[in-house]
Amino acid sequence: MGMTITEKILAAHAGKATVEPGELIRAKLDLVLANDVTAPVSIKELEKINLEQVFDKDKVVLVQDHFVPAKDIKSAEQSKVVRDFARKFDITNHFDVGEMGIEHCLLPEKGLVTPGDVVIGADSHTCTYGALGAFATGVGSTDLAAGIALGEAWFKVPESIKFEYDGKLPEDVTGKDLILHTIGDIGVDGALYQSMEFTGSAIDELSMDGRMTMANMAIEAGGKNGIIAADQKTIAYVEERTNKPYKVYQSDEDAKYNRVIKYDVEKLEPVVAFPHLPENTRPVSEAGHVELDQVVIGSCTNGRIEDLRVAAKIMQGKKVHKNVRCIIFPGTQAIVKQAMKEGLIEIFIDAGCAVSTPTCGPCLGGHMGILAKGERSLATTNRNFVGRMGHPESEVYLCGPNVAAASAIAGRIVHPREVE
């Protein structure tokens, strides 16, 4: 019996010829990631054992992106814990104010993740890196502390589900729509502790930005990881950013899957997830009349340059509705610079948007876009749980950047074509 791409990567890092779903293994790590919220918890645990050195200062990545620039004294103190640790252990990849970006946009951009890697991060959306053909998953801060110290982690090998997306993508349908449709179909626990392997002609057609959006939200279906086999697009993306050696893995034709789910993408339209779960999806044509107070375009899900281009194309020459606050937060400083060169930032400002430094702030209800009681926000983020962006009696709707931009102009949730 053959193995899936996930099984092959885990077997290689466990020093085994083969692994099977359900098997407990100890695997070597290529990268360990934490941010300004999760790293301090790990650091506290490491202080208890008087850690003398990290397993590899080049393979520990610390990104200050959730509350930085600091919003208050507590967040400033959290950040200082991370800075002190980075200085003490001479951490190569510590990204702070001015250089930092949203971690799951930043690491691929910096060439820190390559195909075939095993990556853990104390952030649930670490699964983003599966778009590069890596096994990447979120862990708790104590597991991360062990990873920082030892460069190893234990895993239960997950079963795999193969998702096949075939057909030509309609013009208005994005990677965000594919993953929202999938979560709406199988539910938020539909892939619980399973590997979500995304395949098919529509995936081949997606850009790397679109693929990262899909892998990013695997966790919203309960997935252990999301993964897309590396192809020429992947290799070109990686080799433009790093000269690190890597190995490409592919699933065997006779690999065993828990199930195979097929979608005809030509039948799809843009999708909106209604409160208060990502599985509560509807085609945008069935959204009804939902008036908005805020629109957020950005995040580790849709804060890449392709997303900003899509939004700017719709907003050019138009104005954000008078009752809507529209916040744009690009994923990294490099994305900000590229957006400036292309005139996208000017388009957003002229339309009446607020453009922020890269931050996770609005997405997790941290800062830079908190909702008051009774307010509604449409967002290109990844979660819309109760109180996710502020008051527990506020509402968050999820969508792709085209629906978000069009809806910011209309003042209510609309199909992008309604504002052309």
Q: Which residues are annotated as a binding site?
A: 300, 360, 363
The answer to whether 258 and 161 have CB atoms below 8 angstroms apart is: yes
Dihedral Cα 381, 383, 387, 390, nearest 10 deg: -10
Whether residue 181 has a cis bond before it, omega within 30° of 0: no
* Cβ neighbours for 138, distance < 8 A, ≥ 6 positions apart: 120, 121, 122, 123, 124, 125, 126, 127, 219
Q: Which two tokens stand for residue 208?
A: 């790397």
Annotated binding site for [4Fe-4S] cluster: 300, 360, 363
Other beta carbons less than 10 A from residue 17's beta carbon: 8
* Residue at token pair 């279906």: 221
| CA 87, 91, 96, 99 torsion-angle sign | positive
The one-letter code for the residue type at 222 is G
Pure H helices in 170-207: 175-186, 201-205
- In whole angstroms, how far apart are CA 265 and each of 164, 200, 290, 364, 380? 10, 10, 26, 30, 20
* Residue at token pair 């930043």: 106
Helices (H) and strands (E) in the chain, counts: 14, 18
For residue 305, count CB atoms less than 10 angstroms from its CB and return exposed for 0-12, middle for 13-18, buried for 19 or more.
buried
- In whole angstroms, how far apart are CA 217 and each of 125, 210, 415, 418? 7, 11, 22, 27
Other beta carbons less than 10 A from residue 232's beta carbon: 8
Helix, strand, or coil (residue 233): helix
Q: How far apart are CA 289 and CA 14, in angstroms?
A: 53
Q: What are phi and psi of 255, to 5 degrees?
A: -65, 150
